[in-house]
Amino acid sequence: MDNPFADPSVVEAQRAAANAPIEEDNPFAEAVAPAPASINLPPSQVSGNMTPAPITPAPSSSAAPSNPKIENIPGHADLLKRQEELERKEAELERRERQMNQSSGANVQPNNWPPLPSWFPVKPCFYHDISLEIPLDFQKTVRYLYYLWMVYVVALFFNVLGNMTFWIIISKQSNPDTAPATGETEAPGNFAKSILWLILFSPCSMCWYIPAYRAFKADSSFNFFIFFFIFFFQICWLLLMVIGVPGMGFCGWTIAITGLKTNVAGGIVAMIAALLFTVTFIFGIVMLRKVHQIYGATGATFAKAMSEGQGTFNTAVWSNQHVRSAAQEAATQAASHAAQNAFK
């Protein structure tokens, strides 16, 4: 029987397979680091004493490695923002404390309001800095009161523009041959009154803002009471401005709607003034209610306000050198006259 493995080609293949080197699969061959390349040094360095060079570590990408477990915690970014906000508030409080210490000493803060130029004959009346003098809890309320005053002044300015526009348009449309109408005779007077209201009410309206500012600054019940008393009449006066009573010089809704029928330009300007008066009136009621809530939360009473007012009056009067001198002189004269009458 023929042997199938006796074929010469098969025998040759078996010999080649037996003589080939055996290669084993090493799964860790790729993880092994390659051997360092040989360094050819000169003979002088090989024979002498060699000092190994210091090994410099590779520069890291960040000074402190971040911890992904902490960064992935929900709310971690919010905590960082709150921490930064607290640090800013702490720095701001330190700044205010330093400024308050300076102002309480010899270096008193100069008056800065109203912000008038140095060449102007009238100088600033008082020092005004909400971020420095008002506590943090009440700064927003005081700023709203200040914005309310500015809107009121802008409304008075547009009231002047509205009356001026009515006067100009009516004077151009009037016929010199005919008798002037009622609106033509009232236009110059309304314009003059609007200028008077702007000049008078712009500074006088500070009579309710300054007590509010001082009340929140020093938690003064007396200044709160003054603010409520004056601001109540301010709101009542604003109601007349909003209505626009004829002959008073206010471009309220009555004057604005009537003016739109006769001349559009004057009616539009009067409408802007009426809208600003309305915003001031509504915002004033809201702020009056807001300040009253804060006043009630402090536990202040009318008796406390009167006691503070009496103390303020006594301090203001007797701290004046001229008042003290006049009182002493009057007391001396009264005593001398009483002694002369007694000896007679």
**What are the residues whose beta carbons fall under 8 Å from the beta carbon of 260, sequence distance 6 or more?**
267, 268, 271
What six digits make up the tokens of 172? 């151009």
User: What residues pair up with 113 in beta bridges, in sequence order?
Assistant: 126
Tell me the domain boundaries of the chain.
147-173+182-309
Average pLDDT, consecutive stretches of 10 residues, N- to C-terminus, the chain (344 residues): 61 65 52 50 48 50 50 70 80 68 60 82 85 87 95 94 87 56 68 93 92 89 91 93 90 89 83 94 94 81 56 46 54 57 54
Max CA distance (Å), the chain: 181
Whole-number pLDDT of residue 77: 77
Q: How far apart are the first and last CA of the chain?
A: 181
Please state, in angstroms and rounded to a whole number, the distance separating the CA atoms of residues 51 and 146. Answer: 78
CB atoms within 10 A of CB 151: 15
| CB-side neighbour CA atoms (13 Å) of 55 | 1
Whole-number pLDDT of residue 82: 83
